[in-house]
Every structure is written in C-alpha cells, then in structure tokens.
C-alpha cells in the first residue's frame, strides 16, 4: 500500500516524526520489560515512524524499559524501500526527523547525520519540546489512533510477530484525518 501511495506522490518525505508509547502487558510474553512509569509492572513500548501527514511508515515494539534512542537505528534501517512517482530509486529515508528529548542522544544525532537526515530533536536542558511540537503532533495523533484498538492498548497478544503485525496492519483509511486518507485510498482504486 505504501508503494502505491508513494507512486502517486501522496507520501510527504519532507519530514518524519518518531515517537513511542508504553502499554501494559498483563499476560507478559515477548518484548516486555519492567515499565519505569508504571511501578515496574510488565509492559511494552510501541515505536512509530510517520510521514509529515501522519501515515505510518514503520513500527517496532520493545520492552517498556528500553530507551527510546536505542530503537532509532533499527526503525530507520528496517524501513522498507518505498517506490515513488516517476523515475528514480525507491525512498528509504525522510529529509528531516522530528523527535522528543528521548531521542536527543549524541549517538542518534551522529547516526542521522551519517544517513543524511536532518535531526530536529529537542536538546536536553536547552530546547523546549513545545517549539518542535508543531510538527510532532501528527505522530501523537497516530499513536492515539492505534491505541483506540483495544488489543493493542492492552497488549493481549504474547508473541512478538503478532504484536508487530497488529500494530502495522491497520488501514490508513480508517485512522486520523480519515477524509484525507479516504481520498488517497479512493484514488488508488480508481
């Protein structure tokens, strides 16, 4: 589906946003860890990369105790090549990456620089996350939409492949800003 959207020029590669959300894992299973924000109860973390309009480009899951900055490289490295309209190689990276202070690690900034991606990440102790929030709200909205699915919000499934398949298989046409997405989907079928 991303290839078809890319071929029609409906993916905005000018900037991408990355964020994560922690959820409870009452029954345990793979990719769980003690959640530091929930009295060390078992939990998982979903990491989501979206384009400038909020379309999910890649998703990963980890234990709730993993630092956000540790998943930047795996998410960007495992991003599928997405075809684009016209000629040229498929895209694998955005021009700019927006993230909160959890991603403000010097190692992450070096990695992004090597990949040719401009980092727009608030620096700890210097920048305000609020200033960068005008671009990051799309990932917050998409995370809220994903968590409206009860099986994802409560983390009922125990195996890693099931978790990542469920979180990545939702149709973009039923998510946030559904009108814009329904227009994109209808143009694909017509």
CA dihedral 176, 5, 153, 138 (to 10 degrees): -50
Burial class (CB in 10 A: 0-12, 13-18, 19+), 12: middle
Q: Where are the alpha helices (DSSP H) in 20-71?
A: none
- The residue with greater pLDDT, 35 or 77, is 77
Domains and CATH numbers, the chain: 2-184 (3.30.420)
pLDDT value, residue 89 = 82
Q: Give residue-wise pLDDT tens across range 59-101.
A: 888 888 999 999 999 999 988 888 877 777 888 899 999 998 8
- The residue that leads in pLDDT, 166 or 95, is 95
Tokens coding 99: 């993230």
Confidence of residue 39 (pLDDT cuts 50, 70, 90): confident
Find, among 75, 69, 84, 169, the residue nearest to 121 by Cα: 69
pLDDT, tens digit (0-9, with 9 covering 90-100), for 125-150: 666 656 656 778 899 999 888 888 77
Residue corresponding to tokens 């998943």: 71
**Can you give the three-state secondary structure of 124-178, one letter per residue?**
CCCCCHHHHHHHHHHHHHHHHHHCCCHHHHCCCCCCHHHHHHHHHCCCHHHCCCH
Unique residue bearing structure tokens 């800003």:
177
Task: Report pLDDT digits (tens) over 15-33.
Answer: 999 999 888 887 777 778 8
């Amino acid at each position: 589906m991303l290839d078809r959207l890319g071929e029609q020029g409906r993916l905005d590669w000018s900037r991408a946003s990355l964020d994560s959300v922690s959820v409870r894992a009452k029954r345990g299973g793979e990719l769980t860890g003690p959640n530091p924000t929930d009295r060390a109860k078992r939990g998982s973390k979903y990491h989501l990369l979206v384009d400038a309009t909020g379309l999910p480009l890649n998703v990963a899951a980890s234990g709730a105790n993993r630092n956000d900055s540790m998943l930047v490289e795996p998410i960007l490295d495992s991003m599928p090549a997405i075809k684009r309209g016209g000629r040229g190689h498929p895209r694998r990276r955005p021009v700019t990456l927006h993230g909160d202070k959890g991603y403000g690690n010097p190692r992450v900034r070096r990695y992004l620089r090597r990949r040719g991606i401009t980092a727009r990440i608030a620096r700890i102790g210097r920048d305000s996350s609020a200033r960068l929030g005008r671009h990051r709200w799309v990932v917050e909205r998409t995370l809220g939409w994903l968590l409206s699915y009860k099986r994802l919000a409560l983390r009922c499934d125990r195996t890693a492949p099931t978790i990542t398949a469920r979180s990545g298989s939702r149709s973009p046409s039923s998510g946030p800003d559904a009108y814009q997405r329904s227009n994109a989907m209808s143009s694909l079928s017509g």
